[in-house]
Amino acid sequence: MSLTLTRRRVTTAALTAALLVPLAACGDGDAKGEGAKATGTPAGSASAAPAANLTVLAAASLTDVFKTAGAAYEESHPGTRLTFSFAGSQELVAQVAQGAPADVLVTADTKSMDKVKADTDTPVVIARNRLVIATGKGNPFKVDGLEDLADTKLKVVLAAPEVPAGKYSKQILDAQKITVKPVSQEPNVRAVLSKVELGEADAGLVYKTDAESARDKVVAVEIPDAQNAIAKYPAATLKDSKNAGAAAAFVAWLSSPEGQKILQDAGFQKP
């Protein structure tokens, strides 16, 4: 059953605060690291981007790489500041549908983006990702593949079915006729990773890039291509953005050599 999302204007600060998850400015903390140094002024439209304060709604699995990418973009575009709101794609879509003020939307699947196509300009896929099994450091339960997740003695955690990572997980498990009874279903893929990191779960299905970001705490068990699913990340400007030119320039930059290098250095695949 398709769901038609109708955009409504949010008129009060309280409602806006309720819709947006806490925003993390990319310039905070250690974000201005190697990524900022590695990127020069982009060519084309990105180099001519007007200065602006941009709010970017982005899938949770982009948390680490977008902090690096954002710092690099600000470095080469003086006067522009990026503020990110990271959450599950389904939450971001709900925010857009309710009129939350933002400039750019990046989801972890094309279906989520399609739900708000009336509210966005034409999206472009900026990266791809794949699933792996995350286990505790040293892989204490000797997880070798998807079939091991069916072991009822194993505490497995998955992303909720409405989350892109949860949809991909269900897709590959169903295809292999593997029944998994998770101890919990999380609102985004980073929450799945956190459960494994903290030892609250023995294994979980996450994106390869998530496992890579926590390689000192988890082990990534590869899933063969024939059993795996590929996640696509579309990015689009929002039609109600008050910074349309700057927003379009940032989206274009994500597909530029500079933006692609940062994404691929973090483990994302080419679009």
Domain definitions of the chain by residue range: 13-128+232-265, 129-230
Beta-strand pair 230-237/124-136: antiparallel
Q: Where are the alpha helices (DSSP H) in 20-175?
A: 34-38, 63-76, 89-97, 110-114, 164-175
Tokens 């450091």 locate to: 137
CA distance 238 to 17: 19
Q: How confident is the model at residue 19 (pLDDT cuts 50, 70, 90)?
A: very low
Residue 156: name the closest of 143, 172, 175, 165 by CA: 143
Instruction: Report the CATH superfamily, name and number, of domain 129-230.
Output: Periplasmic binding protein-like II (3.40.190.10)
Comparing C-alpha atoms, which of 93, 15, 12, 29 is closest to residue 63? 29
13-128+232-265: which CATH architecture? 3-Layer(aba) Sandwich (3.40)
DSSP helix/strand/coil, 49: coil
- Name the pLDDT band for 30 (thresholds 50, 70, 90): very low
Burial of 122 (0-12, 13-18, 19+ CB in 10 A): exposed
Q: Could you tell me which residues are beta bridge partners of residue 134?
A: 204, 220
Tell me if domain 13-128+232-265 and domain 129-230 are identical in fold. Answer: yes
Judge whether residue 17 has pLDDT over 90: no
Tell me the pTM. 0.79
Q: What proportion of the chain, given as a percentage, has pLDDT over 70?
A: 82
pLDDT digits (tens, 9 = 90+) for 95-112: 999 999 999 999 999 999
Q: Is 7 helix (H, G, I), strand (E, B) or coil?
A: coil
Examine the pLDDT at 257 and tell me if it is beyond 80. yes
Question: Cα torsion at 163, 169, 172, 177 (round to 10°)?
Answer: -110
How many other CB atoms are found less than 10 A from the CB of residue 98? 18
Mean pLDDT across 220-246: 96
Number of H helices, E strands in the chain: 10, 10
Q: What is the per-residue pLDDT across 39-87, written as a single tens digit (0 to 9) for each?
A: 333 333 444 567 789 999 999 999 999 999 999 999 999 999 999 999 9
Q: What is the pLDDT of residues 137-186, one digit of tens each?
A: 999 999 999 999 999 999 999 999 999 999 999 999 999 999 999 999 99
